[in-house]
Each structure stands twice: as C-alpha cells, then as structure tokens.
C-alpha cells in the first residue's frame, strides 16, 4: 500500500476499505482489541508491517496518539500512553465512551461543548482543543482530529482519529492573555482590563437601570519609600497593598492597578454611600497599618475618591474624571480620607487656588492670630493650661476653618513659616499669663523633621522669657512614619531643652505601642473619635479609653480627652480616670484678651455645661433646599443639619407630626417628620440617618434613581435635558399649598 493512500478513515465517498476488507487498519483495529498491538504487527508482513512499525514508533515518541470507536462511540483502540496519563489501563478504557476521556460540557468552555454534537452528526473534525478528564492537579490539553468510517455506504462503523498534546501551547496562550489583562507585579487587573470592564458594565447597566460605583485610590508617601529603600522595596510594598485591598473588598476581580501607586475598584450594583464610605474608611485604615519590607518598617497612607453612576457620569470617561476630582479633593483635604464626587468640586478647586494665593500674604497682612482652648483638670474643673490654635481672619471671607487652610499650608510648604510664627507668638503671650499655666503648641511632622527646630524653640523661649516646663509640644503620630535615629535624636534634643512632649491624636492611623517605649512623652491626648461614640450602646471605645489611661499611668504620663461636648461624656471620662479634658463642655477657644480677663483672679474655674447626653454633630449653614409635602414643594432655608435631623425655616405654623421629604438636590431625598414647630422654624427628625460625606459634611445614604426623577419630571442637574423620557403621558396636577410661607406672610 502506498504511503499516500494510508488513511485513518473517510466519509461515504472515501476510498478507505471497509472494516470487512483486508485493509491494514481493519486488521490492526480488530486484532488490537483482543491482543497486544505487537502481535498484530507480527502477523502482517512487508511494507504494511513497516508502516505499522513507523506508527508504533510515533506513538512511543509521545508526539501523538491514535484512537478509534465503534458506531456507538465506544473506544475500540487507544494509544497506551494516553491511558497512562489518564491513570487507567487500556482494558479499563476499551468499551468506554470516547467522550469520557474529556472534561464534561459544563466544566469546559468553547469548542469542547460541540464534541458530542459532532459525533452524533457523524461529521469529520480537525484540531479540536479538548481538556483531558485527568484526576488530580494539572491540566492536559489535546488537539484531536477524527474521521467517520463506514462498513457500507449506509452502515456507519465509528470513528478513527489522532491527537497531539497542546498543553504547553494552551498554558503559554493563557499566560499571554493574563499578561494582557493583569498587572504582572500585583496580579490585579491592569488599566486596560479595568477600562473594558467599566465600559461593558456601564453599557449593560444603562439599559438595565442599575448603579455602578468607582473608587480611585492613591497611596500617600509612597514616593518616599521608593526614594529611600529603592524600587524593589517599593514593588514589594505594592504587592502587600494589593493583598490588603483584596482582603477588604473580597473579590480580586473588582480591583485593578492602574500603574505606579494608583489603584481602582469597580463595585457593581452599589450606590449606598454609607456602605461606600465604610469601605473607603476600611481601605484607608488597612493601608495605613505599618508594613515590613526587607526588614524595614514602612508606613504609608491612602486617599480615596468615589463616583457613582448614573449620578456622577454616564460614560466611563465621565465617571473616572469625576472620581479623580473627588480623589484630588480628598488629598487636598489633608490626605488619609475619602471624598464623594459632587458638582461643587470644580468650584471648590478654584476656591482652593485663590485661598492658596491669599494664604501666602496672610501673615504679612496680620490676618493670622492665635486662639486658646482651655485644658481643664477633670476632677477640680480648674484650668491648668491652654492649647494654641491658629486662626485665619480673611478680609473678605471671614474666619477660614483650619481644616481648610492647614492642608493648603502643608502642601505649599507654608506650614514651617506658620508653625514658627505660632511657636513664637504662643510663648510671647503665655509669658504674660499669671501663675504656672502651660501653653501647648502643635508641631507638624514637617517641622519635626527640621534640624533647626530645637534652636527655634530655644530662641522663642529666650525671647519671651517663658520657662521651658510651661511649653508643651503636641506631636502627632505622623512623625513616626519613617522611624530612624534622627527621630530619636530629635526627641532627646527637645527633652534636653526642658519642654514637655504630648502625643496628639493617639489611636488614629499609625498607633504603635513600640514608640511609647522609647519616645519621652509626658502626656497622651486621646483622640475625640473615641470619645464621640464611647457613650453609645454597644460601643467598645470606652474600653479602649480605659486601656489608654492604664497604659499612661504605667508610663507615668498624663492623659487629656479631646472633644468633650456633653455631660454624659464628661461623666464617663471622669469614671475612667482621665486626668484632663478639652472641649465645648468647658469652653470654646478664646482670644488672648478674653483669656487674660478670665484669669484676673489668678485662677480660672469653669463649671461644665452642655447637653445632658451626646447628640449628633450639628452643622450650621444657610442653604436653600426643597421641602415636599403631599404634592407641593416649598422653598425653605436649611439652618442646621445632623445625622438624625435638621432645622428648617420658611414655612409658618406647621403642626408637629407633619411629614416632609427634604430635597437636598442631586437625587438626595430624606423622609422626615416635624418634631418641633416654632413659628417659621421647624425641627425635623429623619426616618433614615444621614452618613459622612468624607468632607466633614453629611449626605443621604442613597440617592433616588435619576430614571425615577426624570419620569417624575425632576431631572437632576448632571443629566442632559431629555436624557430620560418621562414615563407619564401627562404631567400630574400639583396640589395647592397647605401651609403659608414666610414670603407669603410678608407679602400679605
């Protein structure tokens, strides 16, 4: 038989002899079922025997294998090496369905699902990729070809075919695909894959009217790690960051690394800003814990920007741009925080630029001054000292919040100049106070890293004549971000001067008991975030405060609790043996003139006053909003806002128990009930508490879908007119107002 005529099978018109003929393959197939192939080969002579020996050598080389089935698809021949790979003998596999050699349809993908269909149709096939049904670990892939054969033109006999191992090629293709869609360093999705995921998600969700949120995360102080420890250490740190993100988010397929120290998270069907804010805070807290890289201790931080579709953008470009604006605002607000996108961010960015320019001239123009908040002995109510707080009285905008201008000063390298001025001014004014009252001055990490700080302090003390033990330097935990011998040397130099050292905001961000063992602090200041919720049922913050106090006592340190505003908080602090208190329950910060007036008798004793129990923070404001009652919307002024309620004015004589829906804009609707009515003012309690907006403000946990608002004839501002068609054929008639408004009353 000529080599060119040798075939493993054929169709109805094939020139391949039938099974009943004296064909070579007919003999080898029939005999190999009953006895080893070698015996069958020995029974054949001449050229046919040489051909079979060549085929046997091919099988034994492992480069390929052969198979055949009967008309029912049962195996009649299979190369021995394939049987061994599958962990079975040839005898066990002969008679088994050919399809049993491969992964089942529901376990495989792509072309594998077509194999049973092909066999039923008695069609030929070539290079079909199939995964072996191999037990245990590791994948085996084959490229399988087959041809049907027929005993007679109308009598199907089965299949004959061959296969080759393509496992290496499949793994290589899989790796290449992964390289194209995954970040090679962290194993997270890369920028390209995240972009495609967001595009397809938004496209599908627009039709399905579903929400999608995007978080952008930027690491703070990562560049310092690269610069000081080298890029290999930076790479190792990024891997740990990725692991922590996966732990918080719970699904690595939602997280991507965009490049450098930027990460992105896509959260489908999530628009609850309470849940988003909680996740952002968990991310910030997790990424801010210390890292160990090649034996070095590193501490970084993170800032997060959040945008939610469809409110904050319809396309991936819009959503990413707005999340980036929110991230910029978070970093500008002091880093280590999160921000939601809002339409005011663009204006806020411009305001910030103007403030930055004005701040550069504020000292020279005598706009900066110091206010002093009393530090009170918790047992005696006697003032023992004051904390100096920088204030800025802007000629046009009035008093600017330190939370706004201090981050600007840090970013523009003005904090050193402001800090030096505050130190000198505080020492100068404290020297005129009667008695031995102390003054506490904040020292930023940037100032602490300045080698000239001890000389500046000595100069301020010498010029003012203030005794060193009356000056207390409040140092945040940020000075320990890069622990080094320089840090220890600075502490020793400051203590040598004789000043007191206080660890400020203890328990936030970077707390470590390790540096309390070495740093010579005289006081621990307990951050107000612990105090604020310590009196709430189920809170563990009281136990944390008790532990801090016990630690301070063991180390012979004083303790000060910040932000005490209610009498129940004060009672708790006293029960926990905190030695000193700061907060509105005693006094707000006062000017130096008021301070001297209060100290005329030589001692200032303050009786605590304030609400009996802790209540939610109230934000004072003057903002126009809508108040919807029945089918009428009143224009009112929002005077203050808390997580649980609001004070509005503009409607006259509203009975208690009346329900309103407050419209804060951009889909923020809060269902509320009038609990206090005072002429043109109403106090309302919310049905659902507001949540932190990441910028010291409050927002509703959820926003009403723009699809629903548009259907009701209330399109929100960031959607183009007519973007969503109303589902109502005719507008609903509006009811007449039930209540009179202030403007109506004045007009009458």
Check whether residue 475 and residue 564 sit in a common domain.
Answer: yes
* 3-class DSSP state of 572: helix
Cα–Cα distance, 464 to 507 (Å, whole number): 34
196-214 mean pLDDT: 88
Is the preceding omega at residue 118 within 30 degrees of 0, hence cis? no
Of 533, 568, 598, which residue sits at a domain end?
598
Check whether residue 160 and residue 259 sit in a common domain.
Answer: no
Question: Does residue 12 fall inside a structural domain?
Answer: yes
Nearest to 217 by CA among 280, 160, 264, 175: 264
The structural domain count of the chain equals 4
Domain of 510, CATH number, reads 3.20.20.450
pLDDT of residue 136: 64
- pTM for this predicted structure: 0.57
In the structure, what pLDDT confidence band is assigned to residue 263 with cuts at 50, 70 and 90? very high
Of 565, 598, 631, which residue sits at a domain end?
598
Question: Does residue 546 fall inside a structural domain?
Answer: yes
Check whether residue 51 and residue 162 sit in a common domain.
Answer: yes
Question: Helices 345-362 & 402-411, crossing angle to 10 degrees?
Answer: 70
Check whether residue 426 and residue 534 sit in a common domain.
Answer: yes
Please give the structure tokens belonging to residue 368: 């900066």
Check whether residue 283 and residue 217 sit in a common domain.
Answer: yes
Domain of 676, CATH number, reads 2.40.10.220
Cα–Cα distance, 46 to 57 (Å, whole number): 17
CA within 13 Å, CB half, 575: 10
Q: Tell me: the pLDDT tens digits for 285-324?
A: 999 988 988 888 888 889 999 999 988 888 899 999 999 9
Cα–Cα distance, 482 to 225 (Å, whole number): 9
* 3-class DSSP state of 257: strand
Nearest to 103 by CA among 58, 141, 152, 73: 141
Of 539, 565, 598, which residue sits at a domain end?
598
- Name 292's bridge partners: 297
Domain that holds residue 385: 363-598
* 3-class DSSP state of 476: strand
Cα–Cα distance, 689 to 683 (Å, whole number): 15
Nearest to 217 by CA among 272, 315, 273, 283: 283
Check whether residue 79 and residue 199 sit in a common domain.
Answer: no
Question: Does residue 584 fall inside a structural domain?
Answer: yes
Nearest to 211 by CA among 271, 258, 294: 271
Check whether residue 694 and residue 722 sit in a common domain.
Answer: yes
Question: Does residue 604 fall inside a structural domain?
Answer: no
Q: Which range, 24-28, 81-85, 348-352, has the best average confidence (pLDDT)?
A: 81-85
* Residues 6 or more apart whose Cβ sits within 8 Å of residue 86: 93, 101, 132, 133, 134
Question: Does residue 174 fall inside a structural domain?
Answer: no
Alpha carbon 107 to its chain centroid, in Å, reads: 34
Lowest mean pLDDT among 166-170, 214-218, 645-649: 166-170
CA within 13 Å, CB half, 614: 20
Check whether residue 452 and residue 543 sit in a common domain.
Answer: yes
Check whether residue 189 and residue 162 sit in a common domain.
Answer: no
pLDDT of residue 188: 94
Domain of 220, CATH number, reads 3.30.70.270
Only one residue has tokens 């929002």, namely: 638
pLDDT of residue 722: 45
Question: Does residue 561 fall inside a structural domain?
Answer: yes
Check whether residue 520 and residue 381 sit in a common domain.
Answer: yes
Q: What secondary structure, in 3-state letters, does 46-72 show?
A: HHHHHHHHHHHHHHHHCCCEEEEECCC
Run of H or E residues at 523:
strand 523-526
> Kindly report the CA angle at 657 between 656 and 658, in degrees rounded to 5?
95
Check whether residue 496 and residue 446 sit in a common domain.
Answer: yes
Check whether residue 560 and residue 696 sit in a common domain.
Answer: no
Question: Does residue 172 fall inside a structural domain?
Answer: no
Please report the sign of the dihedral spanned by the C-alpha atoms of residue 648, residue 652, residue 656, residue 662: negative
Question: Does residue 175 fall inside a structural domain?
Answer: no
Lowest mean pLDDT among 40-44, 449-453, 468-472: 40-44
Q: Tell me: the pLDDT tens digits for 556-577?
A: 999 999 989 889 999 999 999 9
Q: Does 7 score more than 50 pLDDT?
A: no
pLDDT of residue 85: 84
Burial of 289 (0-12, 13-18, 19+ CB in 10 A): middle
Q: Tell me: the pLDDT tens digits for 644-668?
A: 899 999 999 899 999 999 988 877 8
Alpha carbon 244 to its chain centroid, in Å, reads: 10
Cα–Cα distance, 480 to 568 (Å, whole number): 34
Lowest mean pLDDT among 192-206, 469-483, 723-737: 723-737
Please give the structure tokens belonging to residue 611: 């609400």
| CB-CB contact of 662 with 669 (8 Å) | yes
């Amino acid at each position: 038989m000529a080599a060119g005529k040798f075939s493993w099978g054929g169709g109805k018109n094939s020139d391949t002899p039938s099974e009943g003929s004296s064909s070579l393959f007919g003999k080898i197939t029939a005999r190999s079922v009953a006895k080893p192939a070698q015996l069958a080969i020995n029974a054949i002579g001449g050229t046919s025997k040489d051909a079979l020996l060549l085929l046997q050598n091919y099988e034994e080389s492992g480069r390929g294998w052969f198979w055949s089935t009967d008309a029912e698809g049962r195996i009649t021949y299979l190369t021995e090496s394939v049987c061994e790979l599958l962990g079975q003998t040839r005898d066990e596999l002969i008679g088994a369905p050919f399809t049993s050699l491969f992964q089942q349809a529901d376990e495989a993908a792509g072309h594998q699902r077509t194999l049973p269909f092909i066999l039923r149709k008695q069609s030929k096939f070539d290079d079909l990729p199939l995964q072996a049904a191999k037990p245990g670990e590791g994948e085996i892939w084959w490229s399988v070809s087959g041809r049907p054969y027929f005993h007679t033109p109308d009598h199907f006999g089965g299949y004959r075919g061959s296969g080759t191992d393509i496992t290496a090629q499949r793994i290589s293709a899989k790796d290449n695909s992964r390289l194209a869609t995954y970040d090679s360093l962290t194993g997270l999705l890369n920028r390209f894959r995240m972009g495609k995921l967001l595009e397809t998600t938004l496209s599908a969700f627009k039709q399905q009217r579903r929400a999608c949120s995007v978080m952008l995360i930027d690491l703070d102080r990562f560049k310092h790690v690269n610069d000081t420890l080298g890029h290999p250490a930076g790479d190792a740190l990024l891997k740990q960051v990725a692991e922590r993100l996966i732990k918080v988010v719970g699904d690595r397929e939602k997280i991507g690394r965009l490049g450098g120290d930027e990460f992105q998270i896509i959260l489908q069907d999530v628009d609850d800003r309470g849940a988003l804010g909680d996740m952002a805070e968990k991310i910030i807290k997790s990424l801010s814990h210390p890292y160990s890289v090649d034996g070095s201790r590193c501490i970084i931080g993170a800032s997060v920007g959040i945008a939610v579709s469809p409110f904050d953008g319809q396309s991936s470009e819009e959503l990413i741009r707005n999340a980036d604006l929110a991230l910029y605002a978070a970093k500008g607000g002091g880093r280590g925080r999160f921000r939601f996108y809002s339409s005011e961010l663009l204006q806020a960015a411009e305001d910030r630029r103007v403030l930055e320019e004005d701040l550069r001239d504020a000292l020279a123009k005598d706009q900066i001054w110091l206010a002093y908040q009393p530090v009170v002995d918790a047992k005696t109510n006697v003032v023992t000292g004051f904390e100096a707080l920088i204030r800025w009285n802007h000629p046009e905008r009035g008093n600017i919040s330190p939370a706004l201008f201090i981050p600007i000063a840090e970013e523009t390298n003005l904090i050193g100049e402001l800090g030096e001025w505050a130190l000198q001014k505080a020492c100068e004014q404290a020297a005129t106070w009667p008695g031995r009252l102390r003054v506490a001055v904040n020292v930023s990490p940037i100032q602490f890293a300045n080698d000239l700080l001890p000389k500046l302090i000595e100069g301020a003390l010498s010029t003012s004549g203030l005794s060193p033990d009356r000056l207390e330097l409040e140092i945040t935990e940020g000075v320990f971000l890069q622990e080094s011998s320089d840090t220890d040397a600075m502490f020793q130099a400051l203590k040598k001067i004789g000043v007191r050292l206080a660890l400020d905001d203890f328990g936030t961000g970077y707390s470590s008991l390790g540096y309390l063992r070495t740093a010579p602090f005289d006081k621990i200041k307990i951050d107000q975030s612990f105090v604020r919720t310590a009196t709430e049922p189920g809170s563990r913050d009281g136990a944390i405060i008790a532990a801090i106090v016990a630690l301070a006592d063991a180390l012979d340190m004083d303790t000060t609790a910040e932000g005490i505003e209610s009498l129940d908080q004060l009672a708790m602090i006293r029960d926990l043996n905190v030695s000193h208190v700061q907060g509105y329950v005693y006094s707000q910060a006062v000017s130096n003139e008021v301070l001297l007036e209060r100290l005329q008798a030589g001692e200032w004793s303050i009786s605590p006053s304030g609400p009996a129990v802790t209540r939610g923070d109230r934000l004072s404001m003057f903002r126009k909003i809508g108040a919807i009652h029945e089918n009428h919307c009143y224009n009112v002024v929002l005077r203050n806002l808390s997580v649980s309620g609001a004070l509005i004015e503009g409607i006259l004589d509203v009975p208690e128990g009346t329900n309103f829906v407050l419209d804060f804009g951009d889909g923020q609707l809060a269902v509320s009930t009038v609990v206090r009515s005072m002429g043109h003012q109403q106090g309302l309690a919310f049905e659902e508490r507001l949540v932190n907006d990441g910028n010291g403000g409050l927002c509703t946990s959820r926003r009403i879908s723009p699809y629903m608002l548009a259907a009701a004839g209330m399109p929100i501002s960031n959607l183009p007119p007519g973007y969503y068609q109303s589902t109502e054929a005719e507008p609903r008639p509006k009811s007449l107002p039930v209540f009179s408004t202030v403007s109506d009353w004045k007009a009458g």
